[in-house]
Structure 1
Amino acid sequence: MIYAYTVPGRKDQAWDRTVGQMHTTGTGLIKVGETTKPTAFERIKQQLNTAYPGLRGVDILLEEEAKRSDGSWFGDRDVHRALVTQGISKEQEWFEATLDEVKAALVAVRNGTAYESQRTQDFPMRPEQEDAVAQTAGYFLSQGGGTHAPKVLWNAKMRFGKTFTAYQLAREMGFKRTLVLTYKPAVQSAWRDDLLGHVDFEGWHFVDRTTPVNVADELADGADPLVWFASFQDITGKAAGGGIKERNETLHYIEWDCIVLDEYHFGAWRDGARDLYDPTEKELAEVEEPDDWVTEEDLGLNSKHYLYLSGTPFRAITNGEFTEDAVFNWTYVDEQNAKAHWDDADGQNPYVDLPGMKMYAYEIGAPATEWANDGEFNGFSLTEYFKAQKADPESKSKKVERGTYTFNDETRVKDFLEMLRGKLTEQMKVQLLGVSGKKAPFPYESADFRDAIQHSVWYMADVGSCFAMRDILEAHPYFNGFEIHVA
C-alpha cells in the first residue's frame, strides 16, 4: 500500500514554491510512505502511537494499492520521484504538496503517464457502465447511414455515473465534438470535473459559458477532443440586438458527433411555447414535467447522434419515444443485486462504496379510499391538513418563539404522529385496516424501520407549519427524544 498522512504541527505549516512561471502556495506537509500491512492505520500506528496515542490528531489522507496497470508493483520512492520532478520540495518523506498533487503523482506512476496535477482519478468503469457503452455504441453503429440521427435513452438512477459513462461512450466511439445540453445548469461542475479529473480523458478540452469566445473558437477549430457544455436557457436566450448570443454562435456551426441531453425529464423546449425551468435565474418560471418534449428538430443544431440521460424518464417511455433496443435501464434494485452477488474472484467489489437502499410503499385499503373519495373529503389536501397560523394574528414581530405558530387542527396532527408509531384511533382502524384488521408496520413502530430513520427530513407546506411541527414534536413524549431542526 501507498499511504499519505499529516500530523499536528505539520498540517498547519504554510509553504510556497515557484516553478517556472507558476507560483503555488499551500498549507500542510504530507508524509508519503509504503507498507505491506493490510491497512495504512496499522503501519502508521507502529510509527506514531507513542507520540499520538490511538493516532489522535493524525489525518490519514490516502491509502491505495501500489500496483501498476500492467500488474507490477511500485514503491513510495517512485511517487517521491514523480513529486520531486515537479519542483515539489521535501524534507525526508515530508512534502510541501497538496493532496491532489500526491494523488496525481500516484496516478502517473501507476499508469506510466506524464504527471498532470489536475488528473487524480483513474478508476475503471463498473460492469453496468461497460454494458451501457457497449449497447449504445452497437446501436449507433447499426443505425449509421439512416435518414435520421439515432437516439438512445439511458434510464439510470443517481449513482450510476451518467457523466463519466457518457464520456466513456464518446471515447469508445472516437467522438471529437460533443455538446452537452441541460435544463439544470448546476450540474456543470460534475461534467467539468469528470472530464478534467480523469486520466482517460487526457488531452480533452471543456468549454462552457465562462470560456472566452476566442478560446472557445480556437478549441472548436483544433484537433483535440472537445466537450461543450451549455444550458437550454442560455442557448435559447437572445442577445441585446435580438440574435444569437455571441458566445453561442460557434456551436450552431459545428457538426456535432453527439448531442447529450442531460436531466431530460426536467423540462421541454419549444420556441416561444413556455418559460424554461432554471433555478439560477429568478426571472424564468419553474416548469416541471411539461407537456412538450424536445425533439431533434427543436434544437436547430446538427448532430450525428443523440444521447438522452434521465433518472425518471417516465413520460418518454410511456409515449414510446424510444424503441426498446434504444433504451438502457439501470435501477437501484439492479445495483444492489450486483453488489450482493459480486464474485470476489473477479476482484474487489466495485459496488462496495454504494450504501444499501430500501424502498417501501403503503397500499391504501379500500375503506380508506372510499372515505377519501366521499363528497366531504374528496380533494383531500396535505397542505390543509397541516395548515398553521400565528397564535397572535395581530403580532408584527418577526421573531419566532415557541407557540408563535399553531396548527389549525392540532388534534388531527397529533393523531397523525401517533399513527406513525402504529397507534391508531378507532376511526383510523376502520378506515385503514378495513375488514382484514391487519396492520402494516409503521415507520416509528417497526424495528425494520427504526434504525433507518434515526435521521429524517420532513417537508412541510410553509414556514408556519415547520415551526408548529417543531413545537408539537418537542412536546411529544416520543419525538422529543430527537434533536429537531427547522431549516
Structure 2
Amino acid sequence: MTDPTSSVQTKQGVRKIYAYTTPAEESVDWLNGKGNGRVKIGHTTRSVAERIREQFGASSTDRTWYPRGEWDAQAEDGTWITDHMVHRYLSKRYRRVPDTEWFEVDPEAVWEAVEVLKNDPKARPKGKDCYELRGEQRAAIDAAMTYYEADPSNRWFLWNAKMRFGKTFTAFKLAERLRSKRILVLTYFPAVDDGWSEEIEDHVDFEEWQYAENGASYEDGDQVQVSFSSFQMLEHKTLGKNRENANTKADALRREIAAVNWDLVIIDEYHHGAHHPARREFVSSLKTQRILALSGTPFRAIAKGDFATENKFDWTYLDERQALADWAKKETCEANPYEELPAIHFVGYRLPPHAALTGVDGDCDLTYSPTTIFKADKDGFKNPEAVKDWLQSLSTLSGSARRAGGVPPPYHPDFTGDVLSHVLWLLPSKHSCDAMKRLLEDGWFPGGEGEVIQVSGSEGETGKPAQITKKVRDKIAAAKRSITLSVGKLTTGVTVPEWTAVFHLKAGSSLESYLQASYRCQSSGSINLRNGDREVKTNCFVFDYDPDRMLVVMGDYIKSLKGSGAPLDDRSNAAFPTVIFDDEKNGHIPLNVSDIENELNNYLLKRRPAELMSDSMRLLEDAISAGGLNKALCAQLVKAGKSKSPHHAMRDLDPSLFKSKTPGTIIGDNGKQSAKSTEVADENPKNDEIRAIKEAMLVFIKSLGHLAYIGDLREASVEDLFKVDDELFEKIMGNDKDQVREIIDGAGLDRVQLNAMIQKILMWENFEFVVSGCRNRDELGECGKWYPSDEEATYAFSLQPNR
C-alpha cells in the first residue's frame, strides 16, 4: 500500500487535502479506547505549510505542528473533492470533536477516505448542506432588520451584492429571522428559479420548508411556504403559445398572488425591471410590509435615489478582496471562505490597425467599434480579412509588444498560460455568431483546436436558460478547450464554473449589463492544463475590445462605489481589478482607481467630448429637426462660438431663421411656435450649417460645465450658475445671463438633464478641463477656448495579473 503520509508535490493553485496534528493532540486517547492521537483535516489551494501556520494566530505561544498527509484533491472525473466531503465521510465511521475539524482517526484512514471519494462519486456524501452565514451575510441581515424594525412603514430594502455573495441562502436566513411563513420570490429573470428551489432542497436549515412555482396552495399552516414567480409569467410570456389561454392564466396568477398576505416579498435580479412602471406598481400593491430587492448591479436605482444609505447594504468586489486579505490575519482554524473565488482582471485591447481602420466597404473608418468589425449577415462577416487578422492577433505578439517587452495578447502562453481553457465570447449579432463559428472550425481557433459551442445564432442551443446551461456544461466537460459564442444568452442569473474569461466583442452595454456579463467568469472552478492535469481557478479575465467603453464603464463603477460611501484608498487600489494602459511611448502602466479617473477625464474632454453631452445633444437634434432654433438664439450661439470654436462652418455661418418642418407653422424669434399661417416654411438649413449649430451648442454646453468648475460650484445646478459674478459669467459664456437663459429656453434644453450633465462634469475630484490651461480666476485670459485634440494617442489596454 502506498504510504498515506507521502505528500503530493503539486503546483500553486491545485487544491490539496491535508492532515496534521500538534504536540497537545498527538497522544490524546480516543473515547472508544481503540487508539490515540487526533488529526485536523482541511483543504487549500496554497502552500499547506503556510495555511497551517496561519491557523495558530499571532498570539499562540506554541506553533509546533506535525504533518500527517497531503493529497491531491482532483477526482477521477475531473471534479474536486473538499474537506467537507472528507469530514462527512469520516464522521460516519470515526469520532469528530464537536464543532471542530479534529478527528480521532489514523492518517491512513484519512488517505483511504480521500481515495474513495476521488474514485467513486457514489461514495460522496449526499446529505443536506450545513454551512453557516459568513460575516458579511450576517451584516446584510442585521442592516435589513434594523431598517424594518425602525418604522413599520419601512418596506423596501436593497442588497447591492455582487455575484457569489450567497443571496439565496442569506435571503432565506433573513426570512427565518423575520419569522416569515409566507414568502414570495419574484424575479425579472426566470432563469434563477433553480437556485431558489435547490437552496431549500439542499440546506438542512430549510428542510421543513415548502417550495412551489406558480399556483401554489397558500393554506394556513406552520410550515414555511415559498412561492416563485417571474414577471414573464405574470405577463403571459411563458404560459403557453395560445395568447388567449396565456392571458387567462396570467390574470389568474396575478389575482392569486395579489390576494395573499405575504410576510416577505423578495425581488431577485432587481436591475432587470426596476424602472418598469407597471411592474413596480404591481410590487408596491402587494399585501406585504417587507420587500427585499436583490441585485449585483442596481446602479440606476441608486442613482435615481430609490435607495439611500439607510435602506441598502453593499457588498462589492473590493469588499470581497478585502475580506480575503483580512481573513488571513484572523486567529482562526477555519478555512478561508473567500480563498477559492478567483481574482478578476479587466483587460482592454484596441483592434489591430487593419481591423480598426477598414470599414465594411473598404473605406477608411476612423470610428472605432467592435460592432463594425464583427458585422455580419447570413453570408458571413462583412470584413472577413479584418476578423482573421484579429483572430491571429489573439495568440501572436505584435512588434511593439516584442520591442517594449509588453504584455502579450490573451491566448499567448506567456500571458495567461492555460487559463483560457473555456471562455465566453459576446458578439454583436446572431449572424456574427454563425460566421465566427465557421471561421473557428475552419482552422482559426486561437492557439490550436477546441470545441465551438453556439448558444446564439442558427445553430444555437435552445430551451430554458437552465437547460441551455446544462447543454453547454456537458459539451465543455467533453472538451479540453472551448469557446462559447453568444449575443446575450447566459450573461445573467446562471453559473458556468468552467469559464475563465469573457470577451466583449460588441459595442455598447450599460454598466449593469456589462458587469453582469463580466462576472460570469468569476466563480470557483478548475482549469484544464495542456499536460492533462487540472488546477483550481485562481484568476479570471475580462477582455474588452472597446477600451474606451471599458474606461467609461470602470469610471461609472468607481462613481457608484463613491456614491455608496465605499472608501477608495490604497487598499482599494490594491484590490481593484488590475488594468494596465499601453501605448507605444509609455509601455504598460498599471492604472489604479485614481489613474482610471484621470484617464477618463482625458477621454471625456479630449477624445470624444460629444459623448459627455450625449443627452443634451439629442435634445438639440430634436430642436433642430423641429425647427426650434430661432434667429436670435443662433446669433447668440455664433457670438460665443465664433471665438471659441475652430470649426470652419462655425466661422463662416450666416445665422438664418430655423423654421418648423410642418408647412404653415413658423418658429418665431421668441422661440415659440406661432399659429398656423399660409406662409410655407423655408427649406431646412444646409448640413454644414446644422453641424455648425451643433458645434456651437456643444461649445455652449461645455462652457456651462466650465463655468461651474471655474466658479468653484462643486454641487452646481443650472440655476446656480447664474449666481456667478457677471464679469466671470460673460467672460466664460460669451453672452450675458439673460441671453444664456434665452438660449437654454429657446433650444428647449431640459434643465433636469442639464443639471445631471453638470454633475457628471463635476463628479471627479481631480477634474481638469483642457481649456488652454485655464484652471482658475487668475488665468482668465484665454478662458473658454475649446480646441479638439490634434494628436490623439492610440489607446490599448492590457493586463499583468497579480501573481
TM-score relative to the length of structure 2: 0.37
User: Could you list the runs of 5+ residues in structure 2 that have no partner in the other structure?
Assistant: 1-34, 44-73, 106-120, 237-243, 455-803
Q: How does 1:24-423 map to 2 (within 5 A)?
A: 62-64=85-87, 66=91, 67=96, 103-104=126-127, 120-142=128-150, 144-146=151-153, 149-209=154-214, 211=216, 216-218=217-219, 221-237=220-236, 242=248, 245-246=251-252, 249-267=255-273, 270=276, 294-295=279-280, 299-342=284-327, 343=329, 345-351=331-337, 354-362=340-348, 377=365, 380-387=368-375, 407-421=381-395, 423=397
> Does 1:456 find its partner at 2:423?
yes
> Per-residue displacement from partner, 1:321-371 (whole Å, max 9, x unpaired)?
101222211123322332233145233134256332222233879x99x98
| Residue 180 of structure 1: how far off its partner (Å) | 0.7
For the Cα contact (< 8 Å) 1:443–1:450, is it kept in 2? no
> Per-residue displacement from partner, 1:235-273 (whole Å, max 9, x unpaired)?
344867858654554432222222110011223575xxx
Cα separation, partners in 2 of 1:236 and 1:412, compared to 1, 3 Å: closer
For the Cα contact (< 8 Å) 1:239–1:246, is it kept in 2? no
CA–CA distance in structure 1, aligned partners of residues 196 and 225 of structure 2: 12
**Which structure has the larger Rg over C-alpha atoms?**
2
> Does 1:473 find its partner at 2:461?
no
CA–CA distance in structure 1, aligned partners of residues 294 and 157 of structure 2: 9
| Residue 446 of structure 1: how far off its partner (Å) | 7.7
Other structure's SS at 2:227 match? strand
| Residue 64 of structure 1: how far off its partner (Å) | 1.0
CA–CA distance in structure 1, aligned partners of residues 425 and 319 of structure 2: 28
CA–CA distance in structure 2, aligned partners of residues 459 and 130 of structure 1: 36
For the Cα contact (< 8 Å) 1:339–1:349, is it kept in 2? no
| Residue 151 of structure 1: how far off its partner (Å) | 1.0
CA–CA distance in structure 2, aligned partners of residues 409 and 241 of structure 1: 45
CA–CA distance in structure 1, aligned partners of residues 302 and 421 of structure 2: 36
Q: How does 1:476-487 map to 2 (within 5 A)?
A: 479-487=446-454
Cα separation, partners in 2 of 1:340 and 1:233, compared to 1, 3 Å: same
Other-structure match for 2:749? none
Cα separation, partners in 2 of 1:350 and 1:388, compared to 1, 3 Å: same
Cα separation, partners in 2 of 1:364 and 1:320, compared to 1, 3 Å: farther
CA–CA distance in structure 2, aligned partners of residues 468 and 335 of structure 1: 39
Cα separation, partners in 2 of 1:263 and 1:293, compared to 1, 3 Å: farther
Other-structure match for 2:743? none
AA aligned opposite 2:147 = Y
For the Cα contact (< 8 Å) 1:179–1:227, is it kept in 2? yes
> Per-residue displacement from partner, 1:299-333 (whole Å, max 9, x unpaired)?
53111011111112121122221012222111233
CA–CA distance in structure 2, aligned partners of residues 307 and 423 of structure 1: 49
AA aligned opposite 1:416 = W
CA–CA distance in structure 1, aligned partners of residues 257 and 177 of structure 2: 23
Cα separation, partners in 2 of 1:153 and 1:123, compared to 1, 3 Å: same
CA–CA distance in structure 1, aligned partners of residues 185 and 448 of structure 2: 48
For the Cα contact (< 8 Å) 1:178–1:258, is it kept in 2? yes
Sequence identity, in percent? 30
AA aligned opposite 2:450 = E
CA–CA distance in structure 1, aligned partners of residues 246 and 453 of structure 2: 43
Other-structure match for 1:400? none
| Residue 132 of structure 1: how far off its partner (Å) | 0.8
Cα separation, partners in 2 of 1:128 and 1:466, compared to 1, 3 Å: same
For the Cα contact (< 8 Å) 1:177–1:257, is it kept in 2? yes
Cα separation, partners in 2 of 1:158 and 1:364, compared to 1, 3 Å: same
CA–CA distance in structure 1, aligned partners of residues 279 and 252 of structure 2: 24
Cα separation, partners in 2 of 1:379 and 1:201, compared to 1, 3 Å: same
Other structure's SS at 1:345 match? coil
Other structure's SS at 2:86 match? strand
For the Cα contact (< 8 Å) 2:214–2:227, is it kept in 1? no
CA RMSD of aligned residues (A): 4.5
| Residue 63 of structure 1: how far off its partner (Å) | 1.3
> Per-residue displacement from partner, 1:413-444 (whole Å, max 9, x unpaired)?
3432454456447xxx7xx9xxxx99665324
CA–CA distance in structure 2, aligned partners of residues 72 and 424 of structure 1: 52
For the Cα contact (< 8 Å) 2:218–2:225, is it kept in 1? no
| Residue 130 of structure 1: how far off its partner (Å) | 0.9
AA aligned opposite 1:64 = H
